[in-house]
Structure 1
Amino acid sequence: MKVAVIGAYGNGKTTLSKSLSAELGLPRVHATPMALQQGAVRTSLEECTDLELVQLVARRLVERVNAEAAAGAGFVSDGSVLHEFVYAATRYRYGLHPREAVAEERSGLPKEAEIVERISVEAGMYAAQTYRAFIYVPNERPLVNEPPPISEAFRDLLDGRMSAVVEGLGVPVIRVKGDERQRLSLAVRLLGEIGAGHLEVGT
């Protein structure tokens, strides 16, 4: 079974994907940290330009597809091929640190936003054909980083956009909640139902 654990930064994707990988006996796959190539003048994700963000999204897509192909018949993906596209599209529209989750879109989106949107269509097709299920980890706890790399409003916007994207792919979405044990238990149970053909799109 090929499963993608999704959600915004700080929601607990990595913790759940590690536990789920061990529980199911499937390899865990992930991309390298979301940062610019070594040797770039700017090394922080926040400092990258709109054009550099397109390059970063493309690089991470290739990394994820290659890692998933190497994993064989089954894996647990920490994130998904959609992760970087959702981040970039949200950042282009609202900036890095919007104050409100109901923020208005910026006027005059950069040309790179359209490039990312068009490539994301291909990533969505790949996701729909590859993943048997998405496990959606919601935003239930505040960020503990100080200072946080993104604002809570940006985090909420990421959550909302990711949710909207996966709902349109025709792939079952398992929404987990609670502490680490509760999330794992629910994910394993519902994945079992999907494997048995008892759980369909829209969970």
Structure 2
Amino acid sequence: MRIGLCGAQGTGKSTLSKALAKELGLPLIEEQARIAAKLFGITRPSRDIKVRPELGRLFEVQCLILQLQSEERYKQGFVSDRTVIDIAVYWSKWLAYTTPAVMNRFIYELCKHRAKTYDMVLYLAPEIPLEDDEFRSTNPEYQAELDFWVRAMLKICNPPVLFRVTGTLEERISQILSLIKYYQ
């Protein structure tokens, strides 16, 4: 299965994706933004991209390239900490207003098309306390705004199978395993 986790920052995607990949015996695609950030010397994207949109475009394009490459590497199945849908969200939030329309349409159409290739997209709403990992923002208002964008982009991209998972890590894993049994 090709499973992608989608949601605002700080919703437990990394913890869940690692546990789920282990449970299912599937390769894990870790959050590519952290890899791209190292390449560009970005320490906190929500701050660094805001003040340097040209850097933000390069960073988000690199995130998209890394995500697509990782998904292609594991065509037979994976659990991904993020999806192309998340990349479209961050593009919308930080870059759309300074980017030519043709480029914006290209990014959105690519992400919308690619969202159809996931067997299952799992949406995680903000329900756990934000932790400062010195990479993501700890502002709950920013998280709520990103959650709004994620929900809107999920409607636009309309992945074939979309579920909201909630609760503790164990409850989330149980919900997902039940969903997988149902769809197999």
The alignment's TM-score, normalised by the length of structure 2, stands at 0.84
Q: Which residue of 2 aligns with 1:177?
A: 166
The structural deviation recorded for 1:59 is: 0.7
Select which of 118, 123, 139 maps to 1:151. 139
Could you give the per-residue CA deviations for residues 134-168 of structure 1, whole angstroms, max 9, x where no partner exists? 01111002312288725211111111211222233
Bigger share in helix: 2
Aligned to 2:11: 11
Alignment-mate amino acid for residue 179 of structure 1: T
Residue of structure 2 equivalent to 1:137: 124
Indicate yes or no: 2:148 matched with 1:160.
yes
Residue 175 of structure 1, CA deviation = 0.7
Aligned residues: 177
Post-superposition offset of 1:61:
0.9
User: Quick one: percent identity of the two aligned structures?
Assistant: 26
Letter in 2 for 1:47: D
Q: State the match for 2:58 in structure 1.
A: 55
Asked if 2 retains the 8 angstrom alpha-carbon contact of 1:6 and 1:80, the reply is yes
Judge conservation of contact 2:4–2:120 (CA < 8 Å) in 1.
yes
Work out whether residues 13 and 137 of structure 1, in 8 Å CA contact, stay in contact via their aligned partners in 2.
yes
Number of the residue aligned with 1:118: 106
- Name the aligned partner's letter for residue 138 of structure 1: A
**1:4-153 correspondence runs (5 A):** 4-30=4-30, 31-33=32-34, 35=37, 37-38=39-40, 44-45=44-45, 46-48=47-49, 49-92=52-95, 109-111=97-99, 115-128=103-116, 130-145=117-132, 149-153=137-141
Quickly say closer, same or farther: Cα 1:67–1:175, change in 2 above 3 A: same
Q: CA deviation at 1:32?
A: 4.9
User: CA–CA distance in 1 between the matches of 2:163 and 2:110?
Assistant: 23
Structure 1 unmatched runs, 5+: 94-108, 196-203
Is the radius of gyration larger for structure 1 or structure 2? 1
CA distance in 2, matches of 1:150, 1:117: 30
**Cα distance in 2, alignment partners of residues 132 and 115 from structure 1:** 27
- CA distance in structure 1 between the aligned counterparts of 2:55 and 2:105, rounded to whole angstroms: 15
CA contact (8 A) 1:85 1:116 kept: no
SS in 1 for 2:39: coil
1:37-69 alpha-carbon deviations (Å, 9 max, x no partner):
34x5x6542223112111111111111111111
1:192 deviates by: 1.9
Give TM-score scaled by structure 1 length.
0.77
Shift in CA distance, 23/146, structure 1 to aligned 2, threshold 3 Å: closer
**Which residue type is aligned with residue 123 of structure 2?**
Y
Query: Structure 1 113/146 Cα, relative in aligned 2: closer, same or farther at 3 Å?
Result: farther
Could you list the runs of 5+ residues in structure 2 that have no partner in the other structure? Answer: none
1:194, CA displacement in angstroms? 1.9
Instruction: Tell me which of the two structures has the higher relative contact order, counting C-alpha pairs closer than 8 angstroms and 6 or more residues apart.
Output: 2
1:188 corresponds to 2:177? yes
Runs of 4+ in 1 over 6 A off after TM superposition: none
